[in-house]
Structure 1
Amino acid sequence: MRTRFILIQTSHAGNVGAAARAMKTMGFSDLVLVAPRWANVLRREETIQRASGALDVLNNARIVDTLDEALDGVTHLCATAMIPRDFGPPTRTPREHLEPLAGGDEQHVAFLFGSERFGMRNEDVYRCNVALSIPTDPSFGSLNLGAAIQVIAYEWRLALGGYAVRDATPAALAADARAVAGMLDHWERSLVDIGFLDPGAPKKLMPRLQQLFNRAQPTSEEIHILRGIAKAMSEAAAGGGAKTPSPVREEPGL
């Protein structure tokens, strides 16, 4: 399904750059400007700066004189209008309308945005199949053009299936049972060295630590860290002289 974003009579060059950036982050690239204020808007410094690297979208963007030219090939047209029009298309939220639209048989969807100064003309809204209204706070519903495009682009990408969220680092694998057992043996010796565990009356301390680490599922790197801590405890105990064991007392019910 092809997707086009159409901006009518855009008056601020920076908003064109912001539109390109919003589109690119959601994987869209077809941008058409209808009679923008600046004939060279795609090359203006403010436009390029606000695009923040989405230069391919700007390079592929087209400027046309009329809405008819911008709608060439479009089979489903969505207006973006906060205020419903009498005799106009139905007004729906983006998510309400776009999810079923993504599963339909439309071939070329376009989203229409009006001028920052005047909004959308009634005659342009009437040409649309639906008027999308972003559900903002009723007492303050005004959105910057770039922000509105970002919301619509996100909702449409979400309806189309979205992109998977990627972890910054690969998921670490839990250490195997042998590594955990070796670490616990090391800790047992160190706890004896520092006087925390009485080897003659160990009670249930080590089984409880075993269950703790089973739940935690430490990684191999974390096992190395824990063994390093155990080694440091034993070295500190050796440097400070022999310790008198302080038997671990079991609390009632433990």
Structure 2
Amino acid sequence: MHTSHPGNVGAAARAMKVMGFADLVLVQPRFPDVLSQEETVAMAMGSADILARARIVGSLAEALEGITYACATAMTPRDFGPPTFAPRERLPALAQEGQRVAFVFGSERYGLANDDVYRCHACLSIPTHPTYGSLNLAQAVQLLAYDWRQALGGFDVQPRTADPERATLPEVMGALEHWRAALEAIGFLDPAAPKRLMPRLQQLLNRAQLTREELHILRGIARAVGRGSPR
């Protein structure tokens, strides 16, 4: 409602896209060309498609056409109006109701007018520190978009690295034999009285669950130790 900063529009579009939402409606923004302004596009960062589909309308009633459940977002307590919930208190149940849901945000300077809040079925208040609860508009959009996506089921985390290839037991045994020779070469291990050094190293490597690359590093160290020994 009455957005005044183009950067917030772009950042809000980005916040929506990363959570899988695309229906952005602006009600009487300060700048009629806000969707195409340079700052808006720059802050959108790859979500230009959201801006391209966004609509600018003249009233909240137009913006809520087809919506069956509207959530106002407000920090300031009111003595009259819809019930107020924390997002995670209300959204999981709302996601199960099959409603067409809209989240209504106010202007950066004044928030939502009382009449706009009265149009809504519920008011969502993001829990913040009691002495300072002022959120940037785009930040508020991101937080609610995240909570709504989680209520709808969320997305799986995509792995960024391949699963490590664990060293096999024979490979670990081979590395231990390599280390035995290196330790004998530098005089750390007495082959006549080895005691329990090698079994303890065996247990250490077993607990470590080394990858093949890590085992190769240890064998490289043993090789360098052997080359540098006076024997």
TM range (shorter): over 0.9
Q: Helix, strand or coil: the match of 2:148?
A: helix
Task: Report the alpha carbon displacement of residue 46 of structure 1 after superposing the two structures with TM.
Answer: 1.0
Partner of 2:133: 141
Partner of 1:252: none
Question: Equivalent residues in 2 for 1:183-222 (5 A)?
Answer: 183-222=175-214
**From 221, 224, 227, the counterpart of 2:216:** 224
Deviations 1:184-239 (A, max 9, x none): 111111111111100010000111111111111101111111111111110011xx
Q: Distance in 2 between matches of 1:12 and 1:209?
A: 63
Contact 1:84 1:131 in 2 (8 A): no
Contact 1:10 1:35 in 2 (8 A): yes
The two structures have a TM-score, normalised by structure 2, of: 0.96
Query: In the alignment, residue 189 of structure 1 is paired with which amino acid?
Result: A
- Aligned: 1:97 with 2:90: yes
**From 150, 153, 164, the counterpart of 1:172:** 164
Task: Report the alpha carbon displacement of residue 123 of structure 1 after superposing the two structures with TM.
Answer: 1.2
- Aligned: 1:132 with 2:119: no
Deviations 1:94-138 (A, max 9, x none): 111112222x22231110001112210111111111110011112
Task: Report the alpha carbon displacement of residue 86 of structure 1 after superposing the two structures with TM.
Answer: 2.2
**Structure 1 stretches lacking a partner, 5+ long:** 1-7, 243-254
Deviations 1:25-75 (A, max 9, x none): 111111000111111110011111111121111111011111111111111
- Aligned: 1:34 with 2:22: no
CA RMSD of aligned residues (A): 1.1
- 4+ runs deviating over 4 angstroms: none
The two structures have a TM-score, normalised by structure 1, of: 0.88
Q: Helix, strand or coil: the match of 1:106?
A: coil
**Structure 2 stretches lacking a partner, 5+ long:** none
Query: In the alignment, residue 10 of structure 2 is paired with which amino acid?
Result: G
